[in-house]
Amino acid sequence: MTQEDKKAFITFMVRSGVLTFGDFVTKSGRNTPYFINTGNYGTGAQAAKLGEFYAQCIHDQIGKVDVLFGPAYKGIPLATATAISLQNIYKQDVGYCFNRKEAKDHGEGGKLVGCKLKDDDRVIITEDVITAGTSVRETLPILQEQAKVKIAGLIVSVDRMEKGMHGKTAVQELYEDLGIRTYPLVTVKDVITCLHGVEIDGKVIIDDKMKERMENYRKQYCADA
């Protein structure tokens, strides 16, 4: 994505109430001054725009893909919206599927809903953020139980650039441990660069105090700081 594309996406997240600032706790238990919650997207227009950003990433950086997998629950609309945008914009018809959180003991059963995975399918995992990489490590066995698929990549809205289990960034560790490449639309560095001192709809989103909090967080938890 170009710098203008990144700025547009970050602004879109802020206006959608998805990228917020304050006091939060991540899934990995870290106290953080900013949070990304794609569960706050709530309109058809937002879903369509989000799908366009993800589809652009696939088209520009990955290319051929057979199936999009959206981990329940937040990954489900991501995979669905992206599949629609790939078809509408790039005429690339791909399958999509997602997992069940609860076991189903009636009907067709099974752990996945949507496209049936086949051996050698190139699968993209669609997620909201990557912090420690825990969610992807939990997702991989679910996919491998279904077929001998090839993970073509992980797409996330934001790479928080945080340390994984061994001191490197989670992105680096996923690639070194599992061979999975991560394609973030933006990084936390991009967020700070694009929003520091900048007004959106009359409000400065990241003032000097918030920037200091974010930089202090990065020094503590990010491998690149």
What is the tens place of the pLDDT at every residue in 167-211?
Answer: 788 888 889 989 999 999 999 999 999 999 999 999 999 999 999
DSSP 118: -
Active-site residue 166, yes or no?
A: no
Q: Please list, in sequence order, all residues whose beta carbon lies within 8 angstroms of the beta carbon of residue 45, skipping any fewer than 6 positions away.
A: none
Q: How far apart are CA 142 and CA 126, in angstroms?
A: 14
Assigned CATH topology for domain 3-221: Rossmann fold (3.40.50)
Confidence class of residue 100 from pLDDT cuts 50, 70 and 90? confident
With 80 as the cut, is the pLDDT of residue 131 above it? no
| Domain ranges across the chain | 3-221
Q: How far apart are CA 215 and CA 144, in angstroms?
A: 38
What percentage of residues in the chain have a pLDDT greater than 90? 71
With 60 as the cut, is the pLDDT of residue 61 above it? yes
What percentage of residues in the chain have a pLDDT greater than 70? 95
| 11-27 per-position pLDDT tens digit | 999 999 999 999 999 87
Q: What is the mean pLDDT of the chain?
A: 91
- Annotated active-site residue in 104, 118, 148, 166: 104
With 60 as the cut, is the pLDDT of residue 225 above it? no
Active-site residue 104, yes or no?
A: yes
- Annotated active-site residue in 64, 91, 101, 106: 106
